[in-house]
Every structure is written in structure tokens, then in C-alpha cells.
Amino acid sequence: MTTNWKRSKATATPPAGRAGAGAGPLAAFVLVSLLANLIMLVGPIFMLQVYDRVLPSRSLPTLWALLLLVVALYGVYALIETLRARMAARFASLVDARLSPRAFEAGLKGKLQVHDTVPADPVRDLDSIRQFLSSSGPAALLDLPWMPIYLATVFLLHPMLGSVTLGGAAVMSGLLVVNELSSRRPSRELAAATARRQVQSDDARASAESVVAMGMLPAITRRWEAASAELSRAQQQAGDRNGLYSSLTRAFRFLLQAGVLATGAWLVISGDISGGIMVATSIISSRALAPVEQIVGQWRGFVGARQAWQRLRGALRAAHATLPAVQLPAPRHSLTVRQLSTGPGARTRLVEGISFDLAAGEAMGILGLSGSGKSSVARALVGAWPVLQGSVRLDGSERGHFDPHQLGRSVGYLPQQVELFAGTVAQNIARFTAGGDEAALFAAARGAQVHELIAALPEGYNTQIGERGAALSAGQRQRIGLARALYGEPFLLVLDEPNSNLDSEGDAALTGAVRAAKARGAVVIIVAHRPAAIAAVDKLLYLRNGRQQAFGPKDDVLRQITRPAPVVRNLVAVANG
């Protein structure tokens, strides 16, 4: 049987290094901004020449020559502004291309941890940064350093006009500082309210079946409406604050322009300056303070982008893993766990003091009551949760010494809640690997004894399973999840409640898959409640309240845990030496 599943695989993400050359585009963006601000001096110079040369001389050729020159320069200005807008959009795309893979990985890793507050969403934060970089905000920031140059030009024309403009610049700068200080808290509250509503929306979508089936829709909708109302209040507060300072800044700039014009008129009447200098100074002073007005108008976006960058940088730093300088070979011989403590975060330890050894070809079952820490141990072994104390070693090397992406190919994991992705059956089994191996695909399916089940689907291996595998039954999802865990013949195979949705035929398939994995030299660990799941294991680990109570050959441990009193005596004897 052949498939065309390779043709439907997602396009690989281009290497981030191609987008890393951001210094060159940024320098070009600064240069274009320089040219744009130089051309902005054309208007004042034109007015100066008209008032001081054309009107006194009544020379129409001079006027036409100046007008044609201004038309040409403003045409260049329009071209430069268009180029600057396009460069801003492309620079934002470069930043996004460089950081988006890392942000996506950081977001996935962050979901594995327990957070005291709403967890950051690095992808959404990166979207906020990209939107700000492609807006007019960065251009206004690059125009701001030109304010001293414009002020110096006004001072050259007349010191009194320069002093008036400088005083106005000081007042507007003060408004900018006050706006910054007063907008921090509303911006943080707006970001938090947005995140809380998004989390509620995501949770409701993920549990849509339960929400609808159990009549929870009105209650969940009311909860979402409350979060929306909170977000609306935060948006209004932030918008009102930003609108107030934006209006004040714009009104003061108009007032300052009138003040400069009035001062210039007084100086013209006094005979100190010409009418051309008066008009030119009014235009230059207005241009000098325009970036401040633009920045205040864009301040909400600027603060949001800055806070998003701080959260993104923290998430990237927390998720950053330095790849080892020496790449270890794939493990093949042993798994050794010593005094393992683990949990979803650095301050939360759900399991402590776990120790055991397994050699290639051995299988171990993990037993215990609900909440005893079985799944916690499984998550630590596959790297989903951190090792807070102790060690997990493969072939004698700590798990953290391996390249995580390379080690992932040596690990097969079936979580308690089977997590499939929108795509074809083949893509899910092959872990969405680019250029997947069809031989390995079919071997994994047959190892899970799911090949016939897949062949009976409408399009076989090319059947689209929908979001979260919605087109499949719970048992089919679990069987395909098992095939995915077996893909590539991994050395470490960890199965968490692998038969919770299986019938007797599925139980037999699971037992056969475990025995086949043992026969090829894999280490198999099964978290189980049902006896059928541990039919093929050699050893058992028994947990109670997050602590190891017994470990050893299956029959020995089963005898101990079915007779609690001897277990207690044995533990006391061991504790007393």
C-alpha cells in the first residue's frame, strides 16, 4: 500500500539565521528617516525665499523655479515616506521571522508549568511587537532626535523665537513623561485582561463537548461576558488616559505655533526680522514638536509593545536551552533514576525520592492510587516536567546532557490525554516529520496493530482527523497515539494509561506492542490501573502520596502491595537499617 502523505506535509520553517541580519535594514531605515527630515526643511526655506526675495523683487521666474523645485522635492518626500512605511513593515517581518520559532517553542514549554497568574503568550506578544514595528510609531521615535536640530535652526533665525520654541518643547516633553508614568498601570491591566479572556476562550473551545453536553454553555458564556466586560473597562481606561494626553499635546502644539507666530510678528514690527523669517520659524517650530505629538498619540501601542517585549524576553530566557557542545549518541542500554523529585514548576514538588534501574529489553509498570504521582514520574522521564532534584540518566548520561531534539527521536510517549493534531493520520503517526519514512510509518502502525483500522478509514492514511483528532473515536485516537509513540523504534517508551479507552482487542494489541518493543531492546514504562496493561512488564514501581513504596520484580511487588502490613514492616526494617 502506498500513500501520498508526504506531499501534504507542512512547509518547513526557514532557518531563523536568514532573518538574523537585522542591523543592515535598521541602518537603512535610519538613513531614510534622515532624508525625510532633511526634506521637511524645504517648506520653511521656500516660504523664506518667497517672502524675502520673490515678493520684494516681484520676480515670477524666480517663483516658478522655486515652485518646481519644491514640487520635485516633495515628490521625493512622498517616495521616501512610502519607502519608509514599506521598510518598517519588512523590518517587522524580519523580527517576527527571527523570533517566531523560539516564541512558539517557549509558549509550548510554558504550558507545561503551573503559573500563579495568567501565563504569558509569547506568540501573541510577538504579534504585538510586530504590529507596533510596522506602524508609524517607530518612525516618530526616529524623528524625535531631530528636535534639537530644528530648535537650533530656530535659534539661528532669532534667539527669542528659539527660547519660545524651547519652552514649548519642555512643556510637551513634560506631558510625554507624565503620560508615560500614568499609562503604565492601565497598560498592564489591559494586557492582563486580554490574556484572561483569551484563556477562557481557549479553555471553552478545548472543552466544547462537555460544555454543550452538560448544559454549561450559559454559565460559561456569562463567565466569558464578565471577562469581556473587564477587558472593555481596561480598554476604556487606557484609551481615555491616552486620549487625554494626546489632545492636550495637540492643543498645546497649536497654541505654541500661534505663540511663535505672534512673537515673530512683534519682531517684524520691531524691525528685528523679516516676514519670511517669521513664517519659516512658525513652520520649523511646528515640525520640531510634531514627533512628540505623534509619539503621545502612539504611546498606548508603544507601551504595549514594550511590555510585550519584556514578557517575551522573559519567556525566551526561561525556555532557552543551550545545546551541548558534544552530541551524545542515541541511548541504547539503560535507564537509571536516582532520588527523582519533580513537579510542574520549581516550587511545586508532586513526587520525591524515586529511584530505579532498567536495562534494555525490560518493561516496568507504575502502580498506585489516583493522585499518587504516577503520571508525574512519566512526565519527568520524557522531559515534559523538570527534574527538580536527583537525576534521570540514559546510558549513564543525564537527560539534560543530550540534544533535546535528537533525544526526542529516541523517546516514545503516549500521554493520558491523547493529543493529536489537525492533519492526516500518517502525519500524526510520523510526528509531522519532514520527508517521513513510509517504512517506519507502516512499521509503527503494525506494531500498534492499527494498520487494518487505518485502512478501513475513508482515505486510509490520508484521512484528515480534524482538530484534536475530532473525527476519530477515543479508542482510535489512543491506538493512533500508540503508533506515534512507536514511530522510529524509540529506545525509551513511556505509556500513561495506554488502555483506558481500549477494548479486549486493543488490550491484546497493547501487550503485543510492549513485547515487540522489549524484544528489540527498548525500555518500556507503563502507568496503569487495569491489570491487562501490565501483562508484559518485568518490574513494578508502587507509589503512594508521591513517594516510592516498593520496586522490584512484578510478582514480588504484587505480593507486597496486596498485603499492606508486611510492606509496612519491611519499610520500617529498612529505615532502621
- Of the candidates 491, 528, 498, 513, the one whose C-alpha atom is nearest the C-alpha of residue 393 is 491
Does 252 share its domain with 386?
Answer: no
Does 372 share its domain with 497?
Answer: yes
* Domain presence at residue 7: no
Does 122 share its domain with 22?
Answer: yes
* Domain presence at residue 325: no
The residue type at 542: Y
* pLDDT for residue 296: 72
CA distance 36 to 291: 13
- pTM comes to 0.67
Angle between helices 299-319 and 122-133 (to 10 degrees): 140
- Of the candidates 176, 337, 150, the one whose C-alpha atom is nearest the C-alpha of residue 242 is 176
CA distance 267 to 278: 8
* pLDDT for residue 476: 85
Does 446 share its domain with 314?
Answer: no
The residue type at 386: P
How far the first Cα of the chain sits from its last, in Å, is: 62
Which residues, including other chains, have CB under 8 Å from residue 569's CB and lie 6 or more apart?
none
CA distance 515 to 536: 6
Strands 387-394 and 411-414: unpaired
* pLDDT for residue 573: 42
Give the pLDDT confidence of 484-538 residue by residue, as tens digits: 999 989 999 999 888 777 777 777 888 888 899 999 999 999 998 777 778 888 9
* Domain presence at residue 143: yes
Does 312 share its domain with 338?
Answer: no
pLDDT band at 571 (very low <50, low <70, confident <90, very high): very low
CATH number at residue 411: 3.40.50.300
Does 399 share its domain with 499?
Answer: yes
Does 539 share its domain with 414?
Answer: yes
* pLDDT for residue 329: 86
* Domain presence at residue 1: no
pLDDT band at 114 (very low <50, low <70, confident <90, very high): low
Does 340 share its domain with 292?
Answer: no
25: its cell numbers:
535594514
* Domain presence at residue 4: no
Which residues, including other chains, have CB under 8 Å from residue 236's CB and lie 6 or more apart?
none
* Domain presence at residue 291: yes
* pLDDT for residue 15: 39
Range of the domain at 434: 334-575
Calculate the average pLDDT of the chain. Answer: 80
- Of the candidates 136, 118, 133, the one whose C-alpha atom is nearest the C-alpha of residue 190 is 118
Give the pLDDT confidence of 391-448 residue by residue, as tens digits: 999 998 888 888 888 888 899 998 888 888 888 888 888 888 877 788 888 999 988 8
CATH number at residue 61: 1.20.1560.10
Does 298 share its domain with 373?
Answer: no
Give the pLDDT confidence of 163-206 residue by residue, as tens digits: 888 888 888 878 777 877 777 788 778 878 887 887 778 777 76
- What's the half-sphere exposure (Cβ side, CA atoms, 13 Å) at 121? 16
Residue by residue, DSSP assigns 25-85 as: HHHHHHHHHHHHHHHTTHHHHHHHHIIIIIHHHT-HHHHHHHHHHHHHHHHHHHHHHHHHH
Give the pLDDT confidence of 237-284 residue by residue, as tens digits: 877 777 787 788 878 878 888 888 888 889 888 888 888 888 888 888
Q: What angle do CA 529, 532, 537 make, to 5 degrees?
A: 90
* Domain presence at residue 119: yes
In this structure, are residues 88 and 142 in contact, taking their beta carbons and an 8 Å threshold? no
Provide the sign of the torsion angle of the four alpha carbons 496, 502, 503, 505, taken in this order: negative
532: its cell numbers:
491487562
238: its cell numbers:
487606557
Candidate from 56-60, 71-75, 289-293, 363-367 with smallest mean pLDDT:
289-293
pLDDT band at 214 (very low <50, low <70, confident <90, very high): low
* Domain presence at residue 483: yes
231: its cell numbers:
477587558
67: its cell numbers:
515652485
Does position 577 have pLDDT exceeding 70, yes or no?
no
Q: Name the domain boundary from 260, 293, 319.
A: 319
- pLDDT over 90 percentage in the chain: 12
Q: Name the domain boundary from 273, 296, 319.
A: 319
Residue by residue, DSSP assigns 434-500 as: TT--HHHHHHHHHHTT-HHHHHTSTTGGG-B--GGGTTS-HHHHHHHHHHHHHTT--SEEEEESTTT
- pLDDT over 70 percentage in the chain: 87
Does 138 share its domain with 166?
Answer: yes
Q: Name the domain boundary from 319, 347, 365.
A: 319
Does 465 share its domain with 343?
Answer: yes
Does 313 share its domain with 344?
Answer: no
Sheet with 492-496: strands ordered across: 397-398, 387-394, 334-342, 351-359, 547-553, 539-544, 363-368, 523-527, 492-496, 411-414
Look at the chain and report how many structural domains it folds into.
2
